Structure 1
Amino acid sequence: MSVFIFPREKEITAEVVQNFIEQHQAKIPRYLRLKNMYIGNHPILSQQDKPDYKPDNRLVVNFAKYITDTFNGYFIGIPIKVSHDDPSVNDRVDEFLNRNDMDDNIAELSKMTSIYGHAFEFLYQNEESETCCTYSDPMEMFIVYDDTIAEKPLFAVRYQVTDDGIKGQLFTATEEITITEGKDGLILSDNKPHYYGDVPVIEYIENEERQSIFENVEALINAYDKAISEKANDVDYFADAYMKILGAEIDETTIQNIRDNRIINLFGADDVSKLIVEFMEKPNGDANQEHLLDRIERLIYQTSMVANINDESFGNASGVALEFKLQPMKNLAAMKERKFASGMNRRFKMVFNLPTNMEPSKKDEWRNLNYTFIRNIPRNISDEADTAGKLAGIVSKETQLSVLSFVDNPKQELERIQKENPGSYPTNENGDFVTGGKEDGEVS
């Protein structure tokens, strides 16, 4: 999906904004289609009705939701750990993250990017002049980038179509401008400065193509819905199959008795050998249907690169086998991790630009933030503890603690250890514990 581009040297007028809103409106049908796929409102539910005498089951197997939720549970089920080597910077970052309930924000952003291919986060100041951020789906917000090779954000628009016309905000690198719609088009007014130093809207993307995680298997999902619905129709057909009686004439009363009593007793026919009483059956394609359903299901997981964790083979897989099964999903997560890290760098760059958030001398320390993404898979705590123990003296204590999946913030954990054991575990300038006059792990 292409991005919106506009020359940096040109003026951003109401006509320019109107043109980009119209281009964005052309993308809304795609977003609605993808949202409907996720919530289970699939095309089969709105297909043309069959004649009344035919079974017309409409079954939806929501692979789109399963793929999205499974992948995001794997990718972001365990919150991202953000840390900095400087305790004062680390405290400021933690304060910002806690104030904005960032674990939930990022989880929603991740889900939105998987559904739509991209989503947005924007910064604002609350009534207490604190920097806050929230998320937005791409149906009501877009970013326009400049025409340089770097494609830097030029401006962003957040809008809604109301009964009174379009209303919203235009965000540039220095101002927030109100958008309203008049008789002759859009009106830009009420310019308010901001001090983030950049467009305060961050785009998070699923991949460079901004493609939904299930978009490339959308046709397969629709085919599965159709196939399993037709299979249900066949079941109904056989349950209501017609009975044929050939070689004998029966009246309405006899037909009623056969239906009510479920007993057939025909006699008096001229030639009993020619009498046929049986149900009419259409050709049975059950085996072909099952093969088709199995094939489509296999292709959905294979093409989307998201593992079917409900597969029985997962429960019996060894550690190495499990790694191979999860490898495609691991590759997807690694790519998304890089995209999210880039977005978070932009966020903290703007957050640190405000003196109320970070002292001016440290405003560039966003470059030294560490993001730790932990894949949400079953963990063997005993093995992790063994691994962490073997790392003593080889790596820093902070790195040693980061191996443990249940330790959310290694720096805070180090502080807790020192508080619980004051003076017992002093550290050197590298953060390593020093015990008995020697560094932990040092051999005398």
Structure 2
Amino acid sequence: MFQKVWGWIKGLFSRRKGGDVEVGTKWDEKTEILAKDEWDKLKKILSEHRVLLNEVEKAQEYHDGEFKILKRKPKRKDDPNHRLAPNYASLIIGMKSSYMLGIPIAYDVPKGILMQKKRNEDVPEEVFEQYKEEFMEVTEENDDHAVTMEAMNDGLIAGAATVLFYFNDNWDIKYQVYTFNECIPVVEGRELKQAIRTYKNEDGIECIEIYDSQAVTYLIKDEEQYKKDPSKKVNPAAHHLPVVPAAVFINGKKAKPHFSRIAQGVSELGPDVRSILDEYSRIVSDNANRMDVFCDPYLKLIGALPSTDDVDEMRRRRVIAMKAKQGDQADIGYIEYSQESGGIEAHATRILDDLFQTTSTPKIFKSEAVGNLSSVAIRQLYTPLDNEANEKETWLNKFIRQKVIVITMMLNVRNAVQAGIDPATLFSSEKPPDMPIYDWRWMYWDVKRNLPQNDKELAETLIKYKGTLSERTLLKQISYVEDVDEEMAQKRQEALDQPRVPLNNIDGYLDNLDAKIAGRSMDDDET
């Protein structure tokens, strides 16, 4: 049993040269290269990473609202100095991640489809159900939706984000996301070869964790040299997986080739976007300063020279009363600067339009976005973002696929431990173990975009296609149906519990009645 699945897994991981590590003995060949010449290659990767962080940290500062305008000094000491920083950077990132992942990813193991494929002909049906149940349990315990959303947010800002997986002491599967600042994805071609986590412990010592296809190596920095962490009893420590226990979300690909082993895409808050944000914050800040000056004009006194106390008293009472000297004529009034604000407003509007066009952000605050829009109008409003999402979804699917592979392999390892099988030899033995082996290709996922819907039009469309499309396909179109299988099971149960015959659906009632009778026990109650 499971011979075909096992043969495919063996062939896949023998090409990757993983899965044969003994606990605490060695790392893989890629980490071996890093370790040469006192970790010279590692030092070069860390040095290159620090250079890349200069640009990353600028984007992160803008996302957090730390604009240049906030550091501006007044030209003169008595000048007003408003420093307004409308944080459209956060809106841009939030809009894109919410559009793509606002609806949780739907995972499914379609037994009917899988059992028709030749490679699964020796897999019992209950194994598919068991795999889905265990997989969903892992995603729920780790709050998968939040982890995936956070990875995309960090990736949109920094260009890349990494999720690391591990077993806790109870062999529970755990994973969490790390920003590009904390974890360096190292690739060869397009394949992830290592994930290097860097951080400082509570004593301020720089620590390095290197995740490869066989083990995790723990290092600390001693002066200018790296050495194995003496506090770890087992180092390197096997993770028992034939792949790097990590998944990386990369935000697209840079147009200009950069010959680097560090995987990083582009930031949505690059220099072009930041320059527009700076200009807009300057416009609104200068306009606020101008308003302060206009609302507090100079008092002009010609032909009279009151004392300072008199001036203060007049300002306090908001009354001007002066008497000119004999023979002089007093001219008293405010010096007003008249300027139309139309030019300023037009400039600010254009800058804001440029920002939304450059970042493909829908202008949901515009008057044309208000009201009961049709589905076509909604799609037109979201077309720029939708076009960009088409490209990003290819990278997102790669990230999800890697996540599914790692979780599936970890489930196999955990099940081996529970069955008393040595996990170190699970993927290196010549024949499949006496236990179910899960194949990550059984897992299907659906990324549904968080596009606002006209519910009335959607309902009419679903009614129109009822009888033409399957019930599963129709339910998938409804955004508030999170689990299609659960919804279908609930509908079947409601039909079984129906006390009366629905005259408009007699055939459906009879089908459900047959199912209800088939589910009854044939045993005699008295026996």
Q: TM-score, normalised by structure 1?
A: 0.85
Q: Is the 8 A contact 2:194 2:211 kept in 1?
A: yes
1:23 corresponds in structure 2 to 48
Q: Is the 8 A contact 2:74 2:80 kept in 1?
A: no
- Read off the aligned partner of 1:263 and give its amino acid letter: I
Deviations 1:261-304 (A, max 9, x none): 422333345353xx533323446362221111111111111111
Whether 1:403 aligns to 2:477 is yes
Whether 1:43 aligns to 2:65 is no
Offset of residue 96 of structure 1: 2.1
Q: Is the 8 A contact 1:68 1:114 kept in 2?
A: yes
Q: Is the 8 A contact 1:126 1:132 kept in 2?
A: yes
1:239/1:392 CA distance change after superposition, 3 Å: closer
Residues 51-200 of structure 1 mapped to structure 2, 5 A cutoff:
51-86=76-111, 87-88=128-129, 89-146=131-188, 150-162=189-201, 163-188=203-228, 190-200=235-245
1:93/1:260 CA distance change after superposition, 3 Å: closer
Whether 1:372 aligns to 2:446 is yes
For the residues of structure 1 that align with 2:225 and 2:204, how far apart are their CA atoms? 12
2:258 corresponds in structure 1 to none
2:275 corresponds in structure 1 to 219
For the residues of structure 2 that align with 1:12 and 1:159, how far apart are their CA atoms? 15
For the residues of structure 2 that align with 1:362 and 1:346, how far apart are their CA atoms? 21
Deviations 1:296-339 (A, max 9, x none): 11111111101121222201343322211110111222222221
Offset of residue 238 of structure 1: 1.6
1:362/1:22 CA distance change after superposition, 3 Å: farther
1:276 corresponds in structure 2 to 331
Offset of residue 341 of structure 1: 1.1
Q: Is the 8 A contact 1:142 1:158 kept in 2?
A: yes
SS in 2 for 1:12: helix
For the residues of structure 2 that align with 1:157 and 1:271, how far apart are their CA atoms? 84
For the residues of structure 2 that align with 1:305 and 1:234, how far apart are their CA atoms? 32
For the residues of structure 1 that align with 2:161 and 2:181, how far apart are their CA atoms? 9
For the residues of structure 2 that align with 1:164 and 1:268, how far apart are their CA atoms? 76
1:182/1:260 CA distance change after superposition, 3 Å: closer
Deviations 1:12-45 (A, max 9, x none): 2122222211221222332322222112121111
Offset of residue 170 of structure 1: 0.6
Deviations 1:170-191 (A, max 9, x none): 1111110001112450113510
For the residues of structure 1 that align with 2:43 and 2:308, how far apart are their CA atoms? 72
Whether 1:33 aligns to 2:89 is no
For the residues of structure 2 that align with 1:319 and 1:28, how far apart are their CA atoms? 42
For the residues of structure 2 that align with 1:62 and 1:246, how far apart are their CA atoms? 47
Q: Is the 8 A contact 2:246 2:406 kept in 1?
A: no
Offset of residue 382 of structure 1: 4.5
- Read off the aligned partner of 2:197 and give its amino acid letter: R
* RMSD over aligned Cα atoms: 2.9
Offset of residue 247 of structure 1: 3.8
1:408/1:358 CA distance change after superposition, 3 Å: farther
Whether 1:258 aligns to 2:314 is yes
SS in 2 for 1:413: helix
1:4 corresponds in structure 2 to none
- Read off the aligned partner of 1:302 and give its amino acid letter: Q
- Read off the aligned partner of 2:76 and give its amino acid letter: P
Whether 1:296 aligns to 2:351 is yes
Q: Is the 8 A contact 1:174 1:194 kept in 2?
A: yes
- Read off the aligned partner of 1:191 and give its amino acid letter: P
Q: Is the 8 A contact 2:304 2:322 kept in 1?
A: no
Deviations 1:219-276 (A, max 9, x none): 111111111101010111122221122344444455345334422333345353xx53
1:151/1:71 CA distance change after superposition, 3 Å: closer
Whether 1:202 aligns to 2:247 is yes
Deviations 1:112-147 (A, max 9, x none): 12222221111111222122211111111111112x
Offset of residue 9 of structure 1: 10
Number of aligned pairs?
419
Deviations 1:141-183 (A, max 9, x none): 111112xxx4311211111135543113111111100011124
Gapped runs of 5+ residues in structure 1? 1-6, 425-432, 439-444
SS in 2 for 1:218: helix
Structure with the greater relative contact order (CA < 8 A, sep ≥ 6): 1 or 2?
A: 2
- Read off the aligned partner of 2:217 and give its amino acid letter: I
For the residues of structure 2 that align with 1:97 and 1:253, how far apart are their CA atoms? 73
Deviations 1:378-433 (A, max 9, x none): 33445434433433443333222212222112123233334444599xxxxxxxx9
Deviations 1:46-105 (A, max 9, x none): 233442211111111010111122222222111111112134233232122112111111
* Higher normalized strand content (fraction of residues): 1
Percent identical pairs in the alignment equals: 20
For the residues of structure 2 that align with 1:414 and 1:319, how far apart are their CA atoms? 26
- Read off the aligned partner of 2:212 and give its amino acid letter: T
Q: Is the 8 A contact 1:171 1:177 kept in 2?
A: yes
Offset of residue 437 of structure 1: 7.6
For the residues of structure 1 that align with 2:42 and 2:186, how far apart are their CA atoms? 10
For the residues of structure 2 that align with 1:389 and 1:253, how far apart are their CA atoms? 81
Gapped runs of 5+ residues in structure 2? 1-28, 112-127, 230-234, 255-264, 417-431, 499-506, 513-527
For the residues of structure 2 that align with 1:259 and 1:101, how far apart are their CA atoms? 62
Q: Is the 8 A contact 1:352 1:358 kept in 2?
A: no
Offset of residue 357 of structure 1: 5.9
- Read off the aligned partner of 1:80 and give its amino acid letter: I
1:11 corresponds in structure 2 to 33
